[in-house]
Structure 1
Amino acid sequence: MPNLVIQNVNVKLGKETVLRDISAELAPGKLYVLVGPNGAGKTTLLKAMASLLPLQSGMISYNGLDLAVQRPGVRAEHIAYLPQERGIAWNLSCVDVAALGAQHLAPDLARQKAFAELQGLGLQEVADRGVFGLSGGQRARVLLARVLVSRADVLLLDEPLIALDPAWQRQVLVRLKQRAEAGQTVILSLHDLHLAAQFANTVLLLNGGQLVKMDTPENIFTARLLSDVFHLKGELVSQDGQTVLRLESLPLL
Structure 2
Amino acid sequence: MIETQNIHVRLAQTEAVRDVTLRFEPGRLYGLVGPNGSGKTTLLRALAGLVAPSAGAVRIDDRALSSLSLSERSARIGYLPQARSISWDLTVHEIVQLGAQRFRDAEPRAAAALREVGLGDVAHRRVFSLSGGQTARVLLARLLATACPVLLLDEPLTALDPAWQRQVLGVLKAAAARGHVVIASLHDLGLAAAFCDDLCVMHDGSLAGFGRPETVFTPALLAEVFHLTGGFEVAGEGTRLHLGAHPLIP
Q: TM-score scaled to structure 1, two decimals?
A: 0.96
Verify: 1:58 aligned to 2:56, yes or no: yes
Verify: 1:78 aligned to 2:76, yes or no: yes
- How far is 1:68 from its partner? 1.1
Aligned ranges for residues 84-233 of structure 1 at < 5 Å?
Answer: 84-106=82-104, 109-233=105-229
**Contact 1:101–1:149, Cα closer than 8 Å, also in 2:** yes
Q: Which amino acid aligns with 1:81?
A: Y
CA distance in 2, matches of 1:81, 1:239: 35
CA distance in 2, matches of 1:77, 1:251: 44
Verify: 1:252 aligned to 2:239, yes or no: no
Aligned residues: 249
Aligned to 2:20: 22
Aligned to 1:49: 47
**Contact 1:79–1:154, Cα closer than 8 Å, also in 2:** yes
CA distance in 2, matches of 1:238, 1:181: 26
CA distance in 2, matches of 1:172, 1:75: 25
Aligned to 2:36: 38
Cα gap change, 1:210 to 1:96, in 2 (>3 Å): same
Which stretches of structure 1, 4 residues or more, deviate above 4 A after TM superposition? Answer: none
CA distance in 2, matches of 1:124, 1:241: 36
SS at match of 1:213: strand
- How far is 1:215 from its partner? 1.1
Deviations 1:120-157 (A, max 9, x none): 21111211111000000000000000010112101000
**Contact 2:223–2:248, Cα closer than 8 Å, also in 1:** no
Q: Which amino acid aligns with 1:115?
A: A
CA distance in 2, matches of 1:67, 1:251: 40
Q: Which amino acid aligns with 1:190?
A: L
- How far is 1:213 from its partner? 1.4
- How far is 1:86 from its partner? 0.7
Question: Considering only aligned residues, what root-mean-square deviation do their CA atoms show, in Å?
Answer: 1.1
Report the more deviating stretch, 239-248 or 181-190: 239-248
CA distance in 1, matches of 2:75, 2:249: 47
SS at match of 1:203: strand
Percent identity of paired positions between Structure 1 and Structure 2? 46
Report the more deviating stretch, 142-151 or 118-127: 118-127
Q: TM-score scaled to structure 2, two decimals?
A: 0.97
**Structure 1: unaligned runs, 5 residues or longer:** none
Report the more deviating stretch, 235-244 or 62-71: 235-244
**Contact 2:81–2:154, Cα closer than 8 Å, also in 1:** yes
Verify: 1:237 aligned to 2:233, yes or no: yes
Aligned to 1:10: 8
CA distance in 1, matches of 2:117, 2:39: 29
- How far is 1:252 from its partner? 2.9
Deviations 1:181-201 (A, max 9, x none): 121111010000000000111
- How far is 1:82 from its partner? 0.4
CA distance in 1, matches of 2:248, 2:179: 43
Cα gap change, 1:251 to 1:153, in 2 (>3 Å): closer
CA distance in 1, matches of 2:217, 2:148: 30
